[in-house]
Structure 1
Amino acid sequence: MFYATDKNLHGLPHDPFKAIVAPRPIGWIGSKGRDGTLNLAPYSFFNAVSDAPKLVMFSSSGHKDSVRNVEESGVFTANLVSRHLVEQMNTSSAPVAYDVNEFELSGLTPKPGELVDAPFVGEAYAALECRVTQIIQPVDVDGVKAQSWVVFGQVVGIHIDEAVIRDGMIDMAIARPIARMGYRDYCDGGAEVFQLTRPGAR
């Protein structure tokens, strides 16, 4: 099958776009507003974009609380969602009022960052402390701004629970990172871990 996305007439019960761009890592974004309000929200439009400097990004469909907070504070945390925290992650995705603390709602421990004034998830196996470098609204082919905000942040500090370190590396079979598939589907990155060595030039 083929369909053009301007009309989006795919004939399927649900838009397949996000099922094709999958799996997508989940950025569980911790932030703090100017008034001290804590926020925790999962974003499946999230990824690392550079390793020198270390940069990550998350994209919000709509100007949500996380974007408001990072605009005000200039910082955020990105927390690893592991299998043991899936239910809490899902709870934190509820569309609640700005003054509702999702850490409290999800039964999680907000820990203060070492280098940034933003909370991270105490129960997470790993968390990145980030300083905002850019916030942009992307445009379409006609130059019209999307109702999405893309936040780029430089990783300035990294927390790792030593329980997931084996032989000097993070053991993915223990960390079991969760990724978003299409629709309501998720996958457990630790279910089948295998290694590949990149081939050399011929």
Structure 2
Amino acid sequence: MFYEPEKGHGLPHDPFKAIVSPRPIGWISTVSRDGAVNLAPYSFFNAISSNPHLVIFSSEGAKDSATFAEETGEFVVNLASMDLAERLNATSIDAPRGVSEFAHAGLTEAPSRIVAPPRVAESHAALECKVTDVTRPLGLGGKSSGVILVTGEVVGVHMDESVMRDGLFDVVAAGNLSRLGYMDYSAVTEVFQMRRPRWEKR
């Protein structure tokens, strides 16, 4: 089938997020100027550069994570993993500002080394980030999307030694979690390798 998003698809649910998947989950912790702590998962998240290490997360609307990150210039990306799936989902609740999602989900705040927002102590990895850019992308014709896109540079990396294997971060042991479409998630349970081909070796 083919459809144009503005004209509708006639399906029970929009397939867009299912097609653009799996997507890594940015489990973002932030703190406001006044010291309010927030923790929330974002499925529009990814790494966009390895030198420097840049990550982005996209907030559909001025939610606390984007608002606090823009206010203070800092955030932490906590690794979403299968063993924490239920507690991660609990942090997606629409709690009033000032309510700690850490406490609500039974998670432990661990101090970061460089930035102010705490990290999730139970998470197998965390990226401490400083905001480099905040943009509000437009749709066609200059129409506001209502989206806030936050870019940050990774300034500190935490890794759980229990999921390290021969100096490598083992994504199967960590059970990295990803977001699919609808209400669906997936965890990494197996991997395979392919080497990038080189033209001169063909």
Give the structure 2 partner of residue 176 of structure 1.
Answer: 175
Which whole-Å CA distance do the structure 1 matches of 2:42 and 2:171 have between them? Answer: 21
Counterpart of 2:22 in structure 1 is 23
Moved over 4 A (4+): none
User: Alignment partner of 2:107: what SS?
Assistant: coil
1:116-155 correspondence to structure 2 within 5 Å: 116-155=115-154
Match of 1:193 in 2: 191
Q: For the residues of structure 2 that align with 1:176 and 1:13, how far apart are their CA atoms?
A: 31
CA distance in 2, matches of 1:95, 1:150: 20
CA distance in 2, matches of 1:171, 1:68: 33
Measure the CA separation in 2 of the matches of 1:198 and 1:67: 36
**Structure 2 letter corresponding to 1:27:** G
Q: Deviations over 1:160-183 (max 9, x none)?
A: 011110011011220110000000
Tell me what 2:41 maps to. 42
Q: How far is the alpha carbon of 1:82 from its aligned partner?
A: 0.9
| 3-state SS of paired residue (2:99) | coil
Deviations 1:148-168 (A, max 9, x none): 100000000000011110011
In structure 2, the gaps of 5 or more residues are none
CA distance in 2, matches of 1:72, 1:61: 17
Local SS of the residue matching 1:89: helix
Distance 1:145 1:53 in 2: 29
Q: 2-side partners of 1:29 and 1:62: how far apart?
A: 15
Provide the TM-score with structure 2 as the length reference: 0.97
Provide Cα deviations, 1:56-79, integer angstroms capped at 9, x if missing partner.
000001110111111211100001
Match of 2:5, SS state, is: coil
- Is there any run of 5+ residues in structure 1 with no aligned partner, and where? none
Deviations 1:65-99 (A, max 9, x none): 11111121110000101111001100000011011
Report the 3-state secondary structure (helix = DSSP H, G, I; strand = E; otherwise coil) of the residue aligned with 1:138.
Answer: coil
Q: How far apart are 1:192 and its partner, in Å?
A: 1.9
Distance in 2 between residues matched to 1:173 and 1:54, nearest whole Å: 23
**What is the SS of the residue equivalent to 1:95?**
coil
TM-superposed CA distance for 1:44, in Å, is 0.3
* SS state at 1:179 partner: strand
More helix by share: 2
Q: Report the Cα distance in structure 2 between the residues aligned to 1:172 and 1:50, rounded to whole angstroms.
A: 20
- How far is 1:145 from its partner? 1.8
Q: Once superposed, what is the RMSD of the aligned Cα atoms?
A: 0.8
SS at match of 1:196: coil
Measure, in 1, the Cα distance between the counterparts of 2:196 and 2:147: 35
Which secondary structure does the structure 2 equivalent of 1:142 belong to?
Answer: helix
SS state of the match for residue 34, structure 1? coil
Q: Which residue of 1 aligns with 2:2?
A: 2
The count of corresponding residues between Structure 1 and Structure 2 is 200
Match of 1:56?
55
- Post-superposition offset of 1:185: 0.5
SS of the equivalent of 1:68 reads helix
SS of equivalent to 2:142:
coil
Distance (whole Å) between structure 2 residues aligned to residue 111 and residue 84 of structure 1: 18
Deviation of residue 200 (structure 1)? 1.9
Residues 1:75 and 2:74 are matched in the alignment = yes
SS, match of residue 66 in structure 1? helix
